[in-house]
């Protein structure tokens, strides 16, 4: 639920509570005052008519005198006054109230507010007067005043809600400063990625140069040493004492070893296949070399989709990630099997390296080395890298990268 909706609900609940309390207080007040008013009016009428009843016989037959008196009296506040003869015929009844004539409060409200005052009967000679309390005008007054207060309250609540909505809309709208900050942050992020990409490109360029230097300079020098050592060995071959010959052979052996090492370093720095970026070929090459050098850790490889033409940036990123993950398997995993799978589908490339070792024991947070570097490299190309222990055993590194021109 959004903040705006929550605030509105809260205010609505408070308002409803307030209206309910207000209604209760009004009902209670009005009921008390109606009770009070009707009792007082009744008392006045009863007293007045009681006195009149006592004195009326002096002036003649009670019913006749009283009817005349009642007619001149008219209505006595909130009371209906009637006179009945001894045989039950009504001889008089007070006129209806002209106040708000023809209107009444709803029945349920009248029931709620009705006072407890009882009818009073005054006995005369040969007649009786009935004084019936009539609260209907007072109740209608209470109804009118309460509905207007209630409507006013409702209007107030509506205005309050509208104001709150407007205020919240204004308050929660992102300010211009927010927008500027957002744009700046987005730009910064894009720039950071660009910098990472440039750094990676620079690193690759530097590796290429180093590989070339090693190959051209060191490689040629070592080859020259070997040639010379071989020719020395040949020239002194006749001499079986063989001091120089065996020395020369040793030089040759050492130089051959050196040559192999240089070649290995060169290949690692810049695998020949990467000169034309073909990921399938580069990975196949990596796999062959792994099987020769680490026959005790079984490598299975699954390559799916067209990996031959992904462009240099993507090919290098995947290749270096696989290289790093495989090196980690050697360094950290203690595994007996490692699986590499690379596939392209739906505009994405997905690669996973999984081993059956003992999994990670420390958190992968050191910046700039290994997987963190790979994560940045992959992110610079719009992809993501996940690395962590597998649920059963071992460790898994997985990358997903958008393909150029893919459905990103
Ligand atoms: N295959 C793996 N098996 C177990 N732990 C691993 C594996 N790969 C990585 N790790 C853990 O993740 C950490 C970070 O790896 P990495 O970023 O490559 O740094 P480094 O290899 O320099 O230690 C490693 O130190 C290791 O603890
Ligand atoms: Mg590592």
Q: Are 141 and 104 in contact (CB under 8 A)?
A: no
Query: Is 360 a pocket residue for ligand 1 (Cβ < 6 Å)?
Result: yes
362 band by pLDDT with thresholds 50, 70 and 90: low
Query: Is 354 a pocket residue for ligand 1 (Cβ < 6 Å)?
Result: no
Query: Is 328 a pocket residue for ligand 1 (Cβ < 6 Å)?
Result: yes
Q: Are 352 and 396 in contact (CB under 8 A)?
A: yes
Ligand nearest to the CA of 353: 1
Residue-averaged pLDDT of the chain: 86
267-289 pLDDT, tens digit per residue, is 777 777 677 789 999 999 899 99
- Report the alpha-carbon distance of residue 324 to residue 326 in Å, rounded: 5
- Given this model, what pLDDT does residue 241 score? 52
Neighbours of 67 (CB within 10 A): 15
- Given this model, what pLDDT does residue 192 score? 84
Among 109-118, 120-129, 368-377, where is mean pLDDT lowest?
Answer: 368-377
Query: Is 200 a pocket residue for ligand 1 (Cβ < 6 Å)?
Result: no
Mutate to test the pocket of ligand 1, among 338, 364, 388 (most ligand atoms within 8 A of CB): 364
Sequence ranges of the chain with CATH classification 3.30.565.10? 277-408
Atom of ligand 1 nearest to the CA of 366: 17
The answer, yes or no, to whether residue 135 has pLDDT greater than 80, is: yes
CA distances from 75 to 55, 92, 115, 117, 133 (A): 20, 12, 20, 18, 12
The answer, yes or no, to whether residue 243 has pLDDT greater than 80, is: no
Among 17-31, 189-203, 322-336, where is mean pLDDT lowest?
Answer: 189-203
Query: Is 367 a pocket residue for ligand 1 (Cβ < 6 Å)?
Result: no
Q: Which fold has domain 277-408?
A: Heat Shock Protein 90 (3.30.565)
From the CA of 194, how far away is ligand 2's center (Å)? 24
16-35 pLDDT, tens digit per residue, is 898 899 889 999 999 999 99
32-70 pLDDT, tens digit per residue, is 999 999 999 999 999 988 888 887 766 667 778 888 888
Both structure tokens of 224: 């020259």
The answer, yes or no, to whether residue 408 has pLDDT greater than 50, is: no
């Amino acid at each position: 639920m959004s903040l705006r909706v929550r605030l509105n609900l809260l205010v609505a609940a408070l308002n409803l509570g307030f209206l309910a309390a207000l209604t209760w207080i009004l009902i209670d007040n009005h009921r008390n005052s109606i009770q009070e008013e009707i009792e007082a009016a009744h008392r006045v009428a009863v007293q007045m008519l009681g006195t009149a009843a006592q004195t009326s016989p002096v002036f003649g037959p009670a019913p006749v005198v009283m009817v005349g008196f009642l007619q001149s009296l008219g209505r006595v506040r909130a009371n209906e006054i009637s006179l009945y003869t001894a045989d039950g015929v009504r001889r008089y009844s007070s006129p209806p109230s002209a106040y708000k004539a023809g209107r009444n409060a709803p029945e349920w409200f009248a029931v709620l507010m009705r006072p407890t005052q009882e009818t009073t009967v005054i006995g005369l000679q040969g007649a009786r007067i009935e004084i019936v309390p009539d609260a209907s005008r007072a109740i209608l007054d209470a109804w009118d005043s309460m509905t207007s207060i209630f409507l006013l309250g409702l209007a107030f609540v509506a205005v309050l809600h509208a104001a709150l909505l407007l205020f919240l809309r204004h308050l929660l709208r992102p300010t211009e400063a927010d927008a500027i900050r957002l744009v700046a942050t987005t730009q910064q992020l894009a720039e950071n990625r660009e910098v990472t990409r440039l750094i990676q490109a620079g690193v690759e360029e530097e590796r290429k140069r180093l590989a070339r230097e090693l190959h051209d300079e060191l490689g040629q020098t070592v080859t020259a040493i070997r040639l010379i050592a071989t020719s020395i060995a040949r020239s002194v071959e006749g001499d079986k004492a063989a001091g120089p010959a065996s020395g020369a052979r040793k030089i040759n052996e050492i130089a051959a070893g050196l040559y192999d090492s240089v070649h290995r370093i060169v290949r690692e720095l810049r695998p020949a296949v990467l000169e034309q970026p073909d990921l399938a070929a580069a990975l196949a090459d990596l796999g062959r070399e792994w099987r020769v050098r680490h026959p005790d850790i079984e490598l299975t490889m699954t390559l799916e989709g067209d990996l031959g033409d992904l462009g240099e940036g993507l090919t290098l990123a995947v290749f270096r990630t696989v290289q790093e993950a495989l090196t980690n398997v050697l360094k950290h995993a203690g595994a007996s099997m490692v699986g590499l799978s690379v596939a392209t589908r739906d505009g994405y490339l997905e690669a996973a390296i999984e081993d059956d070792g003992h999994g990670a024991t420390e958190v992968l947070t050191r910046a700039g080395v290994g997987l963190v570097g790979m994560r940045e490299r992959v992110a610079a190309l719009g992809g993501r890298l996940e690395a962590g222990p597998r649920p059963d055993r071992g460790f898994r590194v997985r990358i997903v990268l958008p393909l150029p021109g893919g459905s990103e």
